[in-house]
Amino acid sequence: MSIPKILIITPYAGRTGSEMMIGYLLNRYDRKRFQMALCTLQPGELLNDIPTDVPTFTAPSHFSVIQKLQNKFGENPILSYLKKVQKEFRADVWYLNTLVPSFLLPLAQQLGVKVVTHFHELPMEYLALKADVFRTIITQSNLIIGCSEIVCQRIREAGGQRIELCHSLIDQSRVQVNPARVQELKAALQIQPGEFTWVMSGQTTYRKGFDLLPDFATELQGTHARIIWLGQLLDDGLVEYTQQKLKHNTGIRVDVMGIQREDYYAYLSLADGFLLTSREDPFPLVMIEAATLGKPIVAFPSGGVTEFVEEGMGEVTNSWNVRDVVASMKKVMHKELNLNPEVSKKRAEQFDVSAIVSRWETLMAQL
C-alpha cells in the first residue's frame, strides 16, 4: 500500500512562526507514514533548513515577459506552476499553510486533490481575503487545523466545518544559549545591575502592538525597567511614526534592535521578563521560547496567550489598557506575583515538536 503524499504550500518560507512550525514538523515527521514535499510561493531562508529527503519547489515570483503575457490573457503563472508540481509529485493532499495560499483551493478541487487549511490567523487578518474566498476556505477544506483553541473558536463562529486543534510548536533543542554572549550583550546595551529588562519579539506591525512602545515607555517612567524589541523592522509610516515618538521619549529606555538571527536566544535569555504587546496573536512561538527559558510573561488578552499562561507563569490582563499591562509588569518587577520558572519550563515542554508531532500525524492520517 502506498503512503500518502502531502504537498505543503507555504507563502514565503520565512522566519515567521507559522512557517518555522512547518520546518520543525518536516524535520520530525514519520517517513514511514507519509511522503512530504514543500512548495513556497516565494523563496526564503527556511528552505535552508528543510531536510534533503523533502522535495522543495519554488513558484515564480518575478515573472518573465512570457509569464506576464500569459497572466494578461488569463493564465496565472503560479497556477500553471502548481499544475506542473502536481504532475511531478502527484500529491494526495495540498496543505495550505496560512490563509495566503487559499486562492489555490479551487485548483486543488479541479485536480481532485484534498485540501487542508492550517489557520494561523485571527479575525484582524481575515481582512486580507474577499468574503467569498474566506467562505469557501472555511466550508470546503477537507480539514481545517487551528493553531490554538481561540483560532478554532473563531472559525466555528464564522461557520467553518471539519476543524481540529493542533497547537503551534517549537523545537526546544534549538533553544541554545551561550552565557558569555549574554554577558557581552548586556555590556553592549549598558544594562545596569538592578535594571529589569523586558523583551518583545515580532514584526513591527499594528497587530503586534509596535506603536504602543512609546505609551509603555511613558507609563513606566520612574521605574527601573527598560524594553528591547526584536524582529523585522518594516519600512512603513507606522514604524516611522513610532520611531520618531521614541526619539522624543522621556520615559524608560526602549531599544529597537531589528532582526537578531545569531543572537536571538541570547537576547531572550538576558531578559528578566517577556512582554507580549500584541493586540491579536493566535499562538506566538516566542511566547513558548520565553517560557522555555523560564521567563515570566505579561500580555494583553490577545489570543493564544490566554490558554498558554498558567498560574506561576506571569499575568494576562483582562483589558486592552496599557496602564493595566504596566500594573502587571510592576507586580512582576516587585515580586508581587507567585512566579516559578520551572512551571514555565514544564508548560513549554508540552509544545515541543516531539510532544505535538504525533497529534499532527494523526490528523494527516485521517484524510
Q: How far apart are CA 50 and CA 88, in angstroms?
A: 19
Q: How far apart are CA 71 and CA 61, in angstroms?
A: 13
What angle is formed at CA 65 by the lines to CA 64 and CA 68, rounded to 5 degrees? 85
Partnered with residue 315 across adjacent β-strands are: 298
Average model confidence (pLDDT) for the chain?
95
Shared domain for 83 and 178, answered yes or no, is no
Percent of the chain with pLDDT over 90: 94
Mention every residue, 6+ apart, whose C-beta is less than 8 A from residue 355.
169, 349
Shared domain for 195 and 137, answered yes or no, is no
Total of domains in the chain: 2
Contact (CB, 8 A) for 299 and 235: no
Asked if the model's pLDDT at residue 65 lies above 50, the reply is: no
Q: Count the Cβ atoms, other than its own, within 10 Å of residue 50.
A: 20
Shared domain for 146 and 197, answered yes or no, is no
Q: How far apart are CA 91 and CA 35, in angstroms?
A: 9
Task: Report how far apart, in Å, the C-alpha atoms of 325 and of each of 62, 65, 181, 302 are.
Answer: 44, 53, 30, 12
CATH number for position 177: 3.40.50.2000
Contact (CB, 8 A) for 238 and 212: no
Shared domain for 138 and 18, answered yes or no, is yes
pTM value is 0.94
Per the structure block, which three cell numbers stand in for 99? 490563509
Shared domain for 147 and 180, answered yes or no, is no
Shared domain for 331 and 203, answered yes or no, is yes
Q: What is the mean pLDDT of residues 29-39?
A: 97
Shared domain for 326 and 239, answered yes or no, is yes
Q: How far apart are CA 355 and CA 348, in angstroms?
A: 10
Shared domain for 54 and 203, answered yes or no, is no
Shared domain for 193 and 59, answered yes or no, is no
Confidence (pLDDT) at 64: 55
Confidence bin at 61 (pLDDT 50/70/90): confident
Contact (CB, 8 A) for 201 and 231: yes
Shared domain for 242 and 146, answered yes or no, is no
Q: What is the mean pLDDT of residues 163-181?
A: 98
* pLDDT tens per residue, range 177-199: 999 999 999 999 999 999 999 99
Contact (CB, 8 A) for 92 and 4: yes
Domain housing 30:
5-171+352-365
Per the structure block, which three cell numbers stand in for 109? 478541487
* pLDDT tens per residue, range 306-353: 999 999 999 999 999 999 999 999 999 999 999 999 999 999 999 999
Task: Report how far apart, in Å, the C-alpha atoms of 59 and of each of 15, 85, 98, 134, 259 are.
Answer: 18, 9, 16, 23, 26
Residue type, 139: T
Shared domain for 71 and 216, answered yes or no, is no
Per the structure block, which three cell numbers stand in for 284? 506566538
Shared domain for 52 and 196, answered yes or no, is no
